[in-house]
A and B are shown apart, each in its own frame.
Chain A
Amino acid sequence: DVKVTQSSRYLVKRTGEKVFLECVQDMDHENMFWYRQDPGLGLRLIYFSYDVKMKEKGDIPEGYSVSREKKERFSLILESASTNQTSMYLCASHVKSSTGELFFGEGSRLTVL
């Protein structure tokens, strides 16, 4: 079965802390994505990666960075967390040549106090 695993389901951090959200997929997918989900706004793309060490900005990259050192792992980094980054974060992946169907992780709910 297809599997996308996010390291933490729930995190509580303080303003100014550095936050790492890890995502691992076991499907050998080329493309990986980080979305942020907020009520009424749906899912908004933060960053994506189409290959190891490659990254592209999505619609809302400000305040975030990413790392993809291995094909199966895509990390989202909040260098200095702020309260407006309290949200649900969803990692997803797909095969480059597919219809585009995304396979999602279970999500990481981050609260920044």
Chain B
Amino acid sequence: AQKITQTQPGMFVQEKEAVTLDCTYDTSDPSYGLFWYKQPSSGEMIFLIYQGSYDQQNATEGRYSLNFQKARKSANLVISASQLGDSAMYFCAMREVNNAGNMLTFGGGTRLMVKP
């Protein structure tokens, strides 16, 4: 079974509007972490935001916020006031721990396109 699911292969958003990228996850481990990464067309992976499973408040980093709903096992990324430079692939990832340490599992990604 897939551990991280991103159901939106592609999305459009109008410049300056907010957009939500969906991510659901599956784990039985009580201690885990959730990440969002951005991948522009140049290919590099850029870390955006992190949420720990025990964090009481939703994580925020500038225009990015993570809508963490633990009971629903969802960790949606909200981008406020979209900019043209936000056009990219976005990946949700979950950290679990095994005997080798932290491991990240990624979702299939969402391609976001910002319209001027």
Residues of chain A touching chain B, judged by Cβ–Cβ distance below 8 Å, are 9, 30-31, 33, 35, 40-45, 48, 50, 56, 88, 90, 92, 94, 96, 98-107, 109
Q: With the chains together, A107 CA to B46 CA distance in Å?
A: 12
Q: With the chains together, A100 CA to B97 CA distance in Å?
A: 9
Looking at the assembled complex, report how far the CB atom of A92 sits from the nearest CB atom of chain B, in whole angstroms. Answer: 8
Interface residues of chain B: helix, strand, loop or mixed (majority): strand
Q: Which residue of A lies closest to B91 (CB)?
A: A42
Taking CB atoms and an 8 Å cut-off, the chain B residues in 1-48 that contact chain A are 4, 6, 9, 33, 35, 37, 42-45, 47
**Chain A residues with Cβ under 8 A from B95's Cβ?**
99-100
Q: Are A31 and B100 in contact (CB under 8 A)?
A: yes
Q: Which residue of A lies closest to B97 (CB)?
A: A100
**Count of chain B residues with a beta carbon within 8 Å of a chain A beta carbon:** 26
Instruction: Name which of B61-69, B70-78, B79-87, B105-113 contacts chain A.
Output: B105-113
Q: Which residue of A lies closest to B100 (CB)?
A: A50
Q: Which residue of A lies closest to B111 (CB)?
A: A39
Q: Which residue of B lies closest to A50 (CB)?
A: B100
